[in-house]
Structure 1
Amino acid sequence: MAPESKNAGVSVVVNLDSDSDSDNDDGVGGRGAFRSMASLMDKHQVPSTTADATVAPRENLECRSFWKAGENFVIPTGVTNPAAPAIAELIDNAVDEIQNGATFVKIDKINIVKDNSPALVFQDDGGGMDPDGLRKCMSLGYSSKKSNTTIGQYGNGFKTSTMRLGADDIVFTRSTRGGKSTQSVGLLSYTFLRKTGQDDVVVPMIDIDTSKERPQPIIYGSAEDWAASLEIILKWSPFSTEGELWQQLEDIGTHGTKVIIYNLWLNDEGIYELSFHDDNEDIRLRDESVHDSKRVHHNLLELRSHISYHLRYSLRAYASMLYLKRFNNFKIILRGIPVEQFNIADELRLPETIKYNPHTTKEKAPTEIKVGFIKEAPKLAVCGFNVYHKNRLIRPFWKVTMGGERRGSGVVGVLEANFIEPAHDKQDFERSSLFQRLEARLKKIVSNYWNTHCHVFGYCTYGMPADKSKRIAIPDQPPTVNTFNPLPLPSDEIRVSQGGPIIREISLSNATSSRIAAVDTENNLVGKSAHEISEENIQLFMRCEEYVKKETELEQTVSNLAKELEETKSKCARLALLVDAKRREMQQV
């Protein structure tokens, strides 16, 4: 229901300086953070009459590419390049609302009536935000404090994510705090700021108290300010009338939040970064490599069918692996269809669980690392660890072995590393000493596991040629709980055949029987002198040293290239500024 403007003087308009990084003590009702919206509108000659259905069509930006949006658009440091992680940040906010009763988050695409352009919609039925919470959510200088119980916050992650996906977003929210029910609408529009030439980051907001029988606008300044905020929202949002605006709030229900991101960014070719037409049940990032060549090798097609490749371009695949533990009473609904959660550890062949103690004061219990071969091994050479933090996927298929090395091919692991801190974009970890120790440990785990199990798939350990005829037949169908359950063996529990190399027992049928993996014994150590063995050991050691040196050199090369890339980006940005300045001078002439 629309509020009556007759009621006491009304204005909830927030003007937020983008360089403010401290928490205000004024609260929502404080005067320090508020400025007269009516005066701002007069300054930039924006009509202050109440908007109606005849409002002018929403204006668009000249440049719709995120990375070329203009010098007035300050790209936050937390903004990531791919759009999928930005969507994941918004899903995190909804998952954090589970503690407030949230049971779903809906992600969908709608068409804006004003210009028939696509927009992204995120809606959850959590506790919603009160006016103060929405102000903190949309303030560019505010970042919620860290919490041990949540993945993300309605803080910097929300703002940088919406900015990464589109130029503008509008937020609708309903909540009840302390017996007081409120509903609020806020607009964070780069298009509005750019077109009206605002010097500050102005975020128009309106708040309404719905605790009483008739909704009452919440006033912080004057009735003119409240009306001015409403007019700006109607002019620059996808909705032209108050009725359309209130209908969005009604769709939420009694509590929850809806975020609509519009004026979505385009790529360098002038098409939307997100694809909504390739799959009606998915939202995809455009995979340019698919169109690069007409004829694709069969092995590459198989690789592209695996989730390790699919999650880079499919939001449904990415969301299915985004959280380690399965939700009991919460669903991620993508384009009307729930996302089925997936953990690759459930499909591993010859799985093993290794305990890892990071030796930190916070983590008393050891971390479990599950490792095994993917079900497609040895056809696909997919490998790496899916590393989670507080149930959230940070690094998918993190390859810890050297590139081009066969060792570890097909070996995948899963672990939850709460003892290391993720980066601001939740796409990597901070390079701490704990992280480096974990990386070294994972390399050792892959090496030990490979040496123990690789012969099952016809691979060879160092110094032993592979014999494909000795492979143990592996069924093509996905393994069940009772398939490939190896007997837990301590590291020193081995069997030595007479005059042959060390081999290990592997149970292949629910521990009901065990057999010895066949190993080629032609090149065993029998008949070799201690001197020959020592010489071989020295040669292997020297090879290892060469690989380590090569790895260090490659890492240095990558670091140098990264620096060059940053310098090139800086040069491009400066050139863009110069070109824009020249263009303006020419226009003035």
Structure 2
Amino acid sequence: MTGFVMGDHFMEVVPMGEGCSETLFKLIKDKRIISCAACVNPPSQMPAVWDITSIVRKDKVRFLSTLPGFSIIPACEDSHQEKEWGQFLNFLQKHNRVAISNFGLFEFYILPPLEGSKSNLAIVRYKGTASRTSPAGAGVADSDQISAPTSQSQAAKASSQLGNYVETVKSFQRNYVTAHPSYLKTLGQAHSSWIFGAVAELVDNARDAKATKLEIAINKFYSKIACKEIPMLSLIDDGHGMNHADIQRMISFGHGQTEVDDPNHIGMYGIGFKTGTMRLGKDALVLTQTTNSRSIAFLSQSLNEGKDNLEIPIVSYRRVGPSMEVDTDVQNKDAAKLYLKIIKRYSPFDKYLIGEKVGIFGADGTGTQIYMWNLDEWGSDYSLQWETGIAGGSSFHQGGIFIRSKRTRCRPGQISLSVPLDYCLKSYLEVIFLNPRMKIYVQGALVRSRPLAKSLNKTTVENDTILGKPVQLTLGRSQLEWEQANCGIFLYWHGRLIEAYKRVGSMIHNGDCGRGIIGVADVTKIMDDGNGCVWVHSNKQGFQDCEAYAVLEQWLGEKANEYIDKYVDKIQLRKGNASAKPDHEWVQCDQCRKWRMLSTDFDSKTLPSQWFCYMKPYNGLCDTPEESISSGTITISTKRHGYNTKDPRNSFREREASRSEGISNYASDSEEDDVKVIVKRARARESHARSCKKN
């Protein structure tokens, strides 16, 4: 790991002036770690690991006083390393020994402390080798032609060799991970085609943490680096938070998949946080708190720019009485101070802003806060566009976050240019979960969840078995999607939207064929191979090409075609401006977060912004189980509006006028006030063509 480069840092063990710099490294011998340490004003970029190749008597290295040097101080991560560091210095001092470590063009000599000294600081002498280095265990190389690098090219070569020296070392605890900084940019490419996929990764983490509330916002903060205000994207949840081990696992690059596929957990691959944050911005800070701990982690491209190894500093605290103190079980106070100094230097966060954000948790609160800046750019502006709403304003004056390009994603049979889900974050979050429970706010405005399966007209529920696994598909008509000329199947996995508006069957070749038809299916069981692996892309925006998915596509196409043949191919004339209302109105309780079914003739828009189960028209209790649509049935609205009750034998021109005002492509059950005129589509097109010729 390349060391941290910093300025004006002050350590308790030794005073340093302005302009000092420190480089962290691991000191090991025989592939066992002694301790983490920091170089003070090193001559060049230091390697991540110092491997002691030999220890010789000091009197055998008589020219040490003529060599340049620098000092190293301990940066122990735990009490075990503190003990090992002390024993290492005591051994050198007691036996008057010098520890030698070789790195390409450099040779380092770690000297023992002065006799009688109790300082934990060690002096390092170094020299460059123009032709060769000392063989391991051979003591000191010959003194001929030995000098430090004198030219810029030679120094650059030495720095490159040192930075590329990588050794795998296991330690008791680590406050960083090692990888090349360019990997951060690579991670961000997982969501290169759609930036909202990156936001979804962080929303998933909040749901997995059992959060009941999530706030997403973009606000301006002053950056001392840019010397101006910059936008910062934040996600703040009230979940159970993360302890030190949890946040290490989150910032580590992937983790082993669980053997059992947990249907209540979305995260699987251990890369969602990295791919999400690095797509949204170059720098991210995480502040998380549990009932007994608090941690700060800093994932930054700015910090690691120009380095050979990636650094991700973490500072962890533990609760001691009413306050939080540095957790010395995972790092000492010197290391914590060093990491905090790095965070303050390379981010807009100082101790006051950090304190302000910690205050959001409250005295005993839990949760996670993620802040991202240096946001992704679109030309001379940012990829994301945001609006701040007016406090107390109507729904038309609420804020939002949008994709600046407002481009529609490509889908087979696409005929609509209006797909708000593709570029409006609130529209996407309305349907991101199959059974939404968590309250989500965007720019301070509550996202009104829209459970698709419960908001359809002429709803049918199909149950079947695919490759021995059960599957349920809900099909129906959405007035909103009909008006926007959209259609398709929404596929959920673990209750989270993976594919939206998936065209199947005849929809692929003719998007207008199934206009307004929406299907909803949770395919968690089908996409599980039974061995702990799932056929879902790591970015959770699509499914892998596999047998289960191919069979599922075919089955969805057959069911969609059956629905279209049964209902859509029957053309019913009605009055203009009539809408296909959902079979039932649904409202969500702000206390228990359960969805309550209301009658179709009730206008849910008249309900207050905060509604509870005891209120009208439900007048019930939160303990009552949530209602669901019966399987294998067709539910019909209890009240119809706007159907044409005139004589069906009216003139062709009158029917054409009615047709231009609004045509319902869905048949209804027979009623006295319903008029059904059944016409084949081909016949309708032929008649329309003849009328055009006459005109």
Task: Identify the match of residue 207 of structure 1 among 298, 316, 334.
Answer: 316
Answering whether residue 536 of structure 2 is matched by residue 422 of structure 1, we say yes
Shift of 1:133: 1.1
- In structure 2, what is the Cα distance between the partners aligned to 1:353 and 1:477? 22
Shift of 1:287: 2.5
State the Cα deviation string for residues 260-284 of structure 1 (Å, max 9, x = none). 11111112x1210110138761111
Change (3 A) 1:39 1:479: farther
- In structure 2, what is the Cα distance between the partners aligned to 1:287 and 1:442? 32
Shift of 1:402: 2.5
Task: Identify the match of residue 461 of structure 2 among 353, 357, 377.
Answer: 353
* Contact 2:218–2:443 under 8 Å retained in 1: yes
- Which residue type is aligned with residue 37 of structure 2? S
State the Cα deviation string for residues 90-148 of structure 1 (Å, max 9, x = none). 011111111xxx32111111212223100111111111111111111112354664644
* Contact 2:255–2:269 under 8 Å retained in 1: no
1:11-50 aligned at under 5 Å gives the runs: 35-36=36-37, 44=45
1:57-456 aligned at under 5 Å gives the runs: 73-76=184-187, 79-81=190-192, 82-98=194-210, 102-114=211-223, 115-142=228-255, 145=258, 147-152=262-267, 155-176=270-291, 181-194=292-305, 197-219=306-328, 220=330, 222-240=332-350, 242-253=351-362, 254-267=365-378, 269-277=379-387, 281-287=399-405, 303=416, 309-327=419-437, 330-360=438-468, 363=469, 366-375=470-479, 380-400=484-504, 401-404=507-510, 406-418=512-524, 419-420=526-527, 421-456=535-570
State the Cα deviation string for residues 460-506 of structure 1 (Å, max 9, x = none). xxxxxxxxxx63558623514266999958xxxxxxxxxxxxxxxx9
Q: Which structure dedicates a bigger proportion of its chain to strand?
A: 2
- In structure 1, what is the Cα distance between the partners aligned to 2:273 and 2:430? 21
- In structure 2, what is the Cα distance between the partners aligned to 1:270 and 1:33? 50
Identity of aligned residues (%): 22
* Contact 1:93–1:153 under 8 Å retained in 2: no
State the Cα deviation string for residues 481-534 of structure 1 (Å, max 9, x = none). 266999958xxxxxxxxxxxxxxxx9736x87797953348999xxxxxxxxxx
What residue is the counterpart of 2:573 in the other structure? 471
Change (3 A) 1:247 1:235: same
* Contact 2:495–2:522 under 8 Å retained in 1: yes
Secondary structure, aligned partner of 2:387: coil
- Which residue type is aligned with residue 198 of structure 2? A
State the Cα deviation string for residues 210-266 of structure 1 (Å, max 9, x = none). 2235533123455432222111011012113x2332332222233111111111111
* Contact 2:462–2:474 under 8 Å retained in 1: yes
* Contact 1:319–1:339 under 8 Å retained in 2: yes
User: Where in structure 1 are there 5+ consecutive unaligned residues?
Assistant: 8-12, 18-30, 50-69, 291-298, 459-469, 490-505, 525-589
What residue is the counterpart of 2:123 in the other structure? none
- In structure 2, what is the Cα distance between the partners aligned to 1:208 and 1:48? 26
- In structure 2, what is the Cα distance between the partners aligned to 1:304 and 1:440? 27
- In structure 2, what is the Cα distance between the partners aligned to 1:33 and 1:475? 78
Shift of 1:373: 2.7
Change (3 A) 1:48 1:167: farther
State the Cα deviation string for residues 327-363 of structure 1 (Å, max 9, x = none). 1xx3112121221101333343322211121233xx4
Secondary structure, aligned partner of 2:399: coil
Change (3 A) 1:273 1:144: farther
State the Cα deviation string for residues 277-310 of structure 1 (Å, max 9, x = none). 38761111013569xxxxxxxx99xx555xxx00
* Contact 2:383–2:403 under 8 Å retained in 1: yes
Shift of 1:404: 3.9
- In structure 1, what is the Cα distance between the partners aligned to 2:554 and 2:41? 57
What residue is the counterpart of 1:537 in the other structure? none
What is the CA RMSD across the aligned residues, in angstroms? 4.1
Shift of 1:87: 0.5
- In structure 2, what is the Cα distance between the partners aligned to 1:32 and 1:118? 42
* Contact 1:89–1:161 under 8 Å retained in 2: yes
Secondary structure, aligned partner of 1:208: strand
Change (3 A) 1:513 1:436: farther
Secondary structure, aligned partner of 1:394: strand
* Contact 2:269–2:538 under 8 Å retained in 1: no
- In structure 2, what is the Cα distance between the partners aligned to 1:287 and 1:126? 33
The number of residue pairs the alignment matches comes to: 424
Change (3 A) 1:483 1:239: closer
What residue is the counterpart of 1:569 in the other structure? none
- Which residue type is aligned with residue 36 of structure 1? A
* Contact 2:477–2:516 under 8 Å retained in 1: yes
- In structure 1, what is the Cα distance between the partners aligned to 2:209 and 2:23? 25
- In structure 2, what is the Cα distance between the partners aligned to 1:125 and 1:233? 24
* Contact 1:15–1:202 under 8 Å retained in 2: no
Shift of 1:370: 1.3
Change (3 A) 1:134 1:34: farther
* Contact 1:93–1:154 under 8 Å retained in 2: no
Change (3 A) 1:289 1:212: closer
Change (3 A) 1:488 1:232: closer
* Contact 2:407–2:423 under 8 Å retained in 1: no
What residue is the counterpart of 2:158 in the other structure? none
- In structure 1, what is the Cα distance between the partners aligned to 2:25 and 2:256? 13
What residue is the counterpart of 1:519 in the other structure? 678
State the Cα deviation string for residues 391-437 of structure 1 (Å, max 9, x = none). 10000111123334653333221111112132111111111111101
Secondary structure, aligned partner of 1:76: helix
Shift of 1:449: 1.4
Normalised TM-score (structure 2)? 0.54
Normalised TM-score (structure 1)? 0.63
* Contact 2:25–2:37 under 8 Å retained in 1: no
Q: Which structure dedicates a bigger proportion of its chain to helix?
A: 1
Change (3 A) 1:375 1:288: closer
Change (3 A) 1:439 1:39: farther
- In structure 1, what is the Cα distance between the partners aligned to 2:247 and 2:676? 62
Greater shift, 209-218 or 72-81, is seen at 72-81
* Contact 2:387–2:443 under 8 Å retained in 1: no
- Greater relative contact order structure (CA < 8 Å, 6+ sep): 1
- In structure 2, what is the Cα distance between the partners aligned to 1:215 and 1:521? 74
What residue is the counterpart of 2:101 in the other structure? none
